[in-house]
Amino acid sequence: MEELKQAILNKGVVVSNGVLKVDTFLNHQIDPILIAQMGQEFVKRFNGKEITKILTIESSGIAPAFTTALELGIPFVFARKKKSLTLSSNLLSAKVHSFTKNETNEITVSKDFILEDDKILIIDDFLANGEAALGLASLVEQANATVVGIGIVIEKSFQPGREKLEQAGYQVESLARLASLENNTVRFLEEVAT
């Protein structure tokens, strides 16, 4: 997605150990026009698939999940990382290990919001090791619902996330694919392949 690549090049900052900071438009401040374009692009990528609901995880998945859901006219649900006071039983849950943060969190979603006949598109902001996306897919599988696919805003293609998701049988569509962040430089996958 060209607008996203330009935003990454113009506003992204490569911080140490292969991490891209995009706090000006995705992870802290939000660019609503760009996020709306992401929603339109996800709808194009999964064109022809029947989708009844979007599933994401708080916090940074919420904005692109919202615009995709709005585009489709369907609800979106965000999994929580911390148990809410009013939501203590009747939960689907999965353990998600973050290699980046070296911690394991339990993610949860109410059983009321993922039903057996749901066809779910998973959306998230970053794909690194794939643990968050696999955790979300696990919530869907536990509910005996269907994962239609996984839409990612920024894929770090030098990490194993995509491979793990594809091995599990899921269609992955990423709006930008990073081949490398070495030498404080963003290189997209296409530039390397050709």
Closest distance of CB 121 from ligand G4P, Å: 17
User: Which 3 state secondary structure label does DSSP give 168?
Assistant: coil
Structure tokens at 140: 């869907």
Structure tokens at 73: 């006219």
Residue 60 interacting with Na ion (CB under 5 A): yes
Residue 105 interacting with Na ion (CB under 5 A): no
Closest distance of CB 146 from ligand G4P, Å: 22
Residues lying near ligand G4P in the complex (CB under 6 A) = 19-22, 27, 59-61, 98-101, 125-132, 156, 161
Single out the residue of 118, 185, 109, 175 nearest to residue 147, CA to CA.
Answer: 118
Stretch of 34-42, 80-88, 89-97, 117-125 contacting Na ion, by CB under 5 A? 117-125
How crowded is residue 72: how many other Cβ atoms within 10 Å of its Cβ? Answer: 18
Amino acid at 73: G
Is 130 known to sit in a ligand binding site? yes
Residue 12 interacting with Na ion (CB under 5 A): no
Closest distance of CB 2 from ligand G4P, Å: 20
Is 145 known to sit in a ligand binding site? no
Q: How far apart are CA 69 and CA 183, in angstroms?
A: 37
Is 53 known to sit in a ligand binding site? no
Strand 91-98 to 13-15 pairing: unpaired
| Closest to ligand G4P by CB, 68 or 129 | 129
